[in-house]
Amino acid sequence: MSATLGRRLVAELLGTAMLVTVVVGSGIAAQRLSPDDVGLQLLENSTATFLGLTVLILMFGPVSGAHFNPVVSAADWFLGRRSDTGLSGRDVAAYSGAQVVGGIAGAVLANVTFEVSVFELATTERVGQHLWVAEVVATAGLVLLIFALARSGRGAIAAPAVGAYIGAAYWFASSTSFANPAVTVGRVFSDTFAGIAPGSVPAFVLAQVLGAGLAVVLVRYLYPQVAAIADDVVVPHGKQVPQVVFACVRNGGRSVASRVLAEHYAGGRVVALSAGTQPGDHIHPEVAAVLEELGLDSSRERPTMLTRDTIAASDLAITLGCGEECPYVPGVRYRDWPVEDPGGQDEATVRRIVADLDRRVRDLLVELVPDLDLPPSVVSNDGVPR
């Protein structure tokens, strides 16, 4: 991480405090401004939360990532632990503590600014299976959104996207989408429109944890290489990890093999994507078989459409036969690898092609990350496993 743990904790505490101040304060204001219209109160509360959360992520994201949420921090640790990316277990505990303290402080601050008693806990009971299911859904959607944006190289739009999601979830979730244990605990300390009674908290937090767990399963299935971007959640805030996209036509052979090899050797130090200009229906079985021989799993690879957004989010685009069909994005470096198409080739030819790609990928990784401790090659020059 680029910031010390102390600075990151201060950012998480302040960000969560200000978020709860926005949630509780706008709820009090809405109740006073529109006392006879609950729908209008919710609209005012959700709009303020959407705008406030967006601004807070932009403000604190470059320092701590702007998690403001213990389940987001925990998911970041869990998804990144195998690649030594994201938060450590110690950091998760520290982040969570700062977030909970911030949530309580934010509620107290809102009470003070609106002259509400700071010594009364919330009395609003929020109990019912429908509310707990809503919290599972709302939290799962939030965590899935955050990691999908980071994994697809769109972390730059996380602030408005996350703000918009929470603003919308006020309406589509019957629980009004707390989706955050720290915010849930904080709202106990304000007996107002936005409060939640202490007795309702355990079930809400359990539902949020279950929602985060569901999201982690979905993220790992939909984005198998998600560990590489754990340092960039919610928004990029740590060391910048180079991203390279391998592009061909069908996205079934050369580009897939390159991506799998790059992921194997990079150890999370490089984000490797693959895509095609005319993606097919499946990975070439002969390529998958050779990769399996080398101990590399391609079972989760799926042909994907190459888009301008994917290229724009990358530092380098490696083209393998897509030629002029590959979209051009100014500012992105391009490099062409004239490698034979392995589709439909005999086993010996496919092995030779994969060995060629192996050499090219290893050279590329050393270029992108000069201090990378490159593991031994998995293949000999003739394509035979080492």
Q: What is the pLDDT of residue 237?
A: 67
CA atoms lying within 13 Å on the CB side of residue 46: 20
Residue 350 lies in a domain: yes
Contact 95, 101 (CB under 8 A): no
Same domain, yes or no: 142 and 257: no
Spatial CB neighbours of 146, under 8 Å, sequence gap ≥ 6:
72, 158, 162, 233, 234
Residue 67 one-letter amino acid? H
Q: What is the pLDDT of residue 42?
A: 95
Please identify, among 181, 206, 232, the residue that sits at the C-terminal boundary of a domain: 232
Q: What is the pLDDT of residue 267?
A: 84
d(CA 70, CA 340): 48
3-state secondary structure (DSSP) of residue 315: coil
Same domain, yes or no: 203 and 272: no
Pairing of strands 243-248, 333-336: unpaired
Q: What is the pLDDT of residue 2?
A: 56
Same domain, yes or no: 224 and 251: no
d(CA 224, CA 304): 13
- The count of structural domains within the chain is 2
CATH of the domain at 334: 3.40.50.2300
Same domain, yes or no: 148 and 67: yes
Q: What is the pLDDT of residue 240?
A: 64
CATH of the domain at 98: 1.20.1080.10
Q: What is the pLDDT of residue 281?
A: 93
Same domain, yes or no: 72 and 153: yes
DSSP assignment of 170-181: HHHSTT-----H
Q: The whole model's pTM is what?
A: 0.68
Q: What is the pLDDT of residue 150?
A: 86
Same domain, yes or no: 218 and 342: no
Residue 378 lies in a domain: no
Integer-rounded Cα radius of gyration of the chain: 24
Same domain, yes or no: 205 and 70: yes
d(CA 204, CA 181): 8
Q: What is the pLDDT of residue 235?
A: 78
Residue 95 lies in a domain: yes
Q: What's the pLDDT tens digit per position in 100-113?
A: 999 999 999 999 99
Same domain, yes or no: 18 and 106: yes
Residues of the chain with pLDDT under 50: 1
Spatial CB neighbours of 384, under 8 Å, sequence gap ≥ 6:
351
Same domain, yes or no: 228 and 360: no
Range of the domain at 261: 243-368
